[in-house]
């Protein structure tokens, strides 16, 4: 019980000390507010963004909603393609050997280096942004899915075969449930990639979205807005991870509880 | 009456595996409800032989009859218990057992009832809602045995089922297995590399030697069960089997 309380209180205390020092350093003149706007200034900017917006009329809620929509669309699209393809590749050793270099190659290409190409292919509208997020998520999810299938314990499949299970039934009733925990953690990691890619994907051709908010603010030397935007992305990323972890605990109780036990 | 298992001229080599065959030409007949123990050092082909009987591997030569019919693949009442239990981690103990019953066409409600009955048989009444990770190694093997029994198998193939357990649990499980076997008579082929385990359990012990895998010693044990480790007849057999195993190094 006391350990649990400490687990929450200690990080909070560290955070408060950090913000307090920062605030004091700015007030004492050690930090230039234009470079390091103090926490009180950020809070003010946040309120301003929440009611008036930046550019005028586009509130932080609008930015956030659009960003979250883009991430979710790109992520969902990536999962819809990567999971079936990964299950297929993972189940066929030859196919896996043939595609492994391609997957490693494409995964290594930094997603944002594709930005110029994405603009040529999809224009400056939503398409390019969703493509970039989707690209980042896709390869992560594809490798996670392939690995998940290859890591299914073969003794489970042999056991199922001794119980009059074969072909599709093995796939549906053994391979799928056995891969589920790794698919879910793959989806979580892919979503994290989506959050990492978003700012770059929103750099061009839009004034809506947290990424464009951050870039716009730079033009006006509004470091405070850039920081509020960053913090928002971080907060949404944190919330999304927590939501997916919660979902994992519900969907794969055997895994979550097994892990909790070994902790 | 036909033998429960009839193996003749059975040989097995794996592709990309040079050297002598994993199994030479092996002959073996097992009677109905007989408890046969295969004993031998690691790598002498015990698992391969069991997999062949289960239909999980195909022979390079020879044939296997189970209940008079040739083995063409797994399933069809050839129950198997693996060393690691091989329970499905996403299913509760009850669902694991019902999985086996459902696949041979038992209706859902009946499968659940059968699962509870078998859980009680292996001494796990009331643990049906638990997931495998919530069970100790010994309890997992009890569930695995119950799951194999849910197939209503003609033969039960057990591949070092207690090999991963500590000695105390292992001895308990041997007693448990004999108790269950007394209630549900089955033809059992049990693989182990523990001589004492073989002596406690078997109607007949077959000692195997490697490359080519073959039987080098066969002993029938007609002593009543439960057997005592201090029984002079068992101790004499132990010495004989140990001498034989040591010789094939
Ligand atoms: N799938 C396989 N491919 C190639 N060699 C195998 C395969 N399975 C088993 N073997 C070989 O066959 C021999 C016997 O193995 P196994 O039947 O597992 O022995 P045991 O169960 O008695 O320890 C070993 O030398 C092993 O390396
Ligand atoms: Mg073995």
Give the model confidence (pLDDT) of A138-153 as tens digits: 999 999 999 999 999 9
Count of domains observed in chain B: 2
* Shared domain check, B161 and B52: yes
* The pLDDT of residue B36 is above 70: yes
Residue range B182-196: mean pLDDT, rounded: 92
Contact assignment for B56 to A174 by CB distance below 8 Å: no
Whole-model pTM?
0.86
Calpha distance A140→A82 (Å, rounded): 9
* Shared domain check, B159 and B55: yes
User: Taking Cα atoms as reference points, which of A190, A193, A191, A180 lies closest to residue A249?
Assistant: A180
Residue range B164-185: mean pLDDT, rounded: 90
Contact assignment for B103 to A166 by CB distance below 8 Å: no
Q: What pLDDT sits at residue A118?
A: 86
* Predicted confidence (pLDDT) per residue in B2-25, tens digit: 689 999 999 999 988 888 889 988
Taking only residues 91 to 150 of chain B, the set having a beta carbon closer than 8 angstroms to any beta carbon of chain A reads 99-100, 103-104, 131-134, 147-148
Residue B160 falls in which region: left (phi positive, over 0), alpha (psi -120 to 50) or beta: left
Strand arrangement, sheet containing B5-12: B23-30, B5-12, B61-66, B69-70
Confidence of residue B1 (pLDDT cuts 50, 70, 90): low
Confidence of residue A123 (pLDDT cuts 50, 70, 90): confident
* Shared domain check, B58 and B34: yes
Assigned domain for B225 exists:
yes
Confidence of residue A260 (pLDDT cuts 50, 70, 90): low
Residue to mutate (ligand 1; options B10, B47, B83; most atoms within 8 A of CB): B47
Assigned domain for B196 exists:
yes
Q: What pLDDT sits at residue B225?
A: 87
Assigned domain for B139 exists:
yes
Range A58-262 has CATH code 3.30.300.30: no
Instruction: Out of B152, B185, B206, pick the residue that ends a domain.
Output: B152
Assigned domain for B246 exists:
yes
Assigned domain for B192 exists:
yes
Atom of ligand 1 nearest to the CA of B46: 22
CATH code assigned at B234? 3.40.50.300
Residue range A18-28: mean pLDDT, rounded: 90
* Shared domain check, B68 and B97: no
User: How many percent of chain A have pLDDT more than 90?
Assistant: 54
**B89: nearest CB among A158, A254, A261:** A254
Please give the ipTM for the structure prediction: 0.91
* Predicted confidence (pLDDT) per residue in B73-91, tens digit: 898 889 999 988 899 999 9
Q: What pLDDT sits at residue A35?
A: 85
* Predicted confidence (pLDDT) per residue in A155-175, tens digit: 999 999 999 888 899 999 999
Assigned domain for B82 exists:
no
* Shared domain check, B137 and B162: no
Nearest CA to ligand 1 atom 25: B43
B199 touches chain A (CB under 8 A): no
Rounded to the nearest 10 degrees, the angle between the axes of helix B137-149 and helix B167-183 is 20
Residues A172-175: contacts with CB within 8 Å, 24+ apart? A173/B99, A174/B88, A175/A87, A175/A91, A175/A149
* Shared domain check, B59 and B101: no
Tokens describing residue B14 = 């794996």
DSSP assignment of A103-146 equals: HHHHHHS-GGGGHHHHHHHHTTSHHHHHHHHHHHHHHHHHHHHH
Q: What pLDDT sits at residue A203?
A: 82
Per the structure, the complete domain to which residue B236 belongs is given by 1-77+154-166+173-249
Instruction: Out of B97, B118, B152, pick the residue that ends a domain.
Output: B152
* Shared domain check, B219 and B160: yes
* The pLDDT of residue B229 is above 90: no
Tokens describing residue A207 = 């004034």
* Shared domain check, B221 and B197: yes
* Shared domain check, B73 and B14: yes
* Shared domain check, B158 and B61: yes
* Shared domain check, B133 and B66: no
Assigned domain for B179 exists:
yes
The CA distance from B240 to the nearest CA of chain A, in Å, is: 35
Q: What pLDDT sits at residue A200?
A: 86
Calpha distance B100→B118 (Å, rounded): 12
Q: What pLDDT sits at residue A262?
A: 45
Q: Are A182 and A190 in contact (CB under 8 A)?
A: no
């Amino acid at each position: 019980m006391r350990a649990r309380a400490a687990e929450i209180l200690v990080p909070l205390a560290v955070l408060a000390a950090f913000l307090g020092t920062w605030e004091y350093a700015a007030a004492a003149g050690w930090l230039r507010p234009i470079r390091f706007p103090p926490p009180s200034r950020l809070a003010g900017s946040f309120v301003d963004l929440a009611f008036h917006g930046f550019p005028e009329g586009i509130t932080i809620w609008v930015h956030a909603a659009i960003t979250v929509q883009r991430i979710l669309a790109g992520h969902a699209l990536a999962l819809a393609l990567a999971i079936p393809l990964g299950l297929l590749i993972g189940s066929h050793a030859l196919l896996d050997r043939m595609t492994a270099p391609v997957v490693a190659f494409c995964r290594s290409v930094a997603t944002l280096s594709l930005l110029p190409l994405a603009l040529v292919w999809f224009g400056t509208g939503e398409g390019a942004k969703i493509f970039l997020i989707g690209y980042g998520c896709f390869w992560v999810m594809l490798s996670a899915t392939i690995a998940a299938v290859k890591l299914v314990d073969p003794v489970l499949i042999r056991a199922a075969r001794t119980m009059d299970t074969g072909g599709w039934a093995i796939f549906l009733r053994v391979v799928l449930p056995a891969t589920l925990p790794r698919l879910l953690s793959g989806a979580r990691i892919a979503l994290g990639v989506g959050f990492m890619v978003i700012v770059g994907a929103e750099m061009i051709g839009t004034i809506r979205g947290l990424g464009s908010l951050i870039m716009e603010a730079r033009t006006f030397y509004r470091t405070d807005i850039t920081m509020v935007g960053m913090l928002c992305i971080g907060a949404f990323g944190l919330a999304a991870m927590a939501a997916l972890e919660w979902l994992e605990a519900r969907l794969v109780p055997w895994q979550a509880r097994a892990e909790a036990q070994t902790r | 009456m036909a033998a429960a298992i009839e193996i003749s001229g059975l040989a097995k080599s794996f592709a990309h595996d040079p050297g002598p065959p994993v199994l030479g030409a092996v002959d073996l007949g097992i009677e109905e409800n007989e408890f046969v123990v295969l004993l031998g050092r690691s790598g002498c082909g015990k698992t391969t032989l069991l997999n062949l009987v289960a239909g999980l591997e195909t022979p390079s030569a020879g044939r296997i009859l189970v209940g008079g019919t040739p083995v063409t693949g797994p399933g069809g009442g050839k129950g198997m218990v693996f060393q690691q239990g091989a329970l499905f981690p996403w299913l509760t103990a009850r669902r694991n057992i019902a999985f086996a019953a459902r696949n041979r066409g038992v209706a859902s409600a009946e499968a659940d009832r059968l699962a509870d009955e078998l859980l009680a048989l292996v001494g796990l009444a009331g643990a049906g809602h638990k997931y495998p990770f919530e069970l100790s190694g010994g309890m997992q093997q009890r569930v695995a045995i119950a799951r194999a029994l849910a197939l209503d198998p003609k033969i039960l193939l057990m591949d070092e089922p207690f090999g991963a357990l500590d000695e105390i649990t292992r001895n308990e499980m041997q007693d448990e297995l004999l108790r269950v076997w007394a209630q549900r008579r089955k033809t059992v082929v049990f693989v182990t590399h523990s001589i004492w385990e073989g002596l406690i359990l078997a109607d007949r012990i077959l000692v195997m030697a490697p490359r080519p895998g073959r039987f080098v010693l066969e002993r029938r044990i007609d002593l009543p069960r439960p057997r005592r480790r201090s029984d002079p007849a068992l101790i004499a057999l132990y010495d004989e089997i140990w001498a034989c195993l040591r010789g094939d190094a």
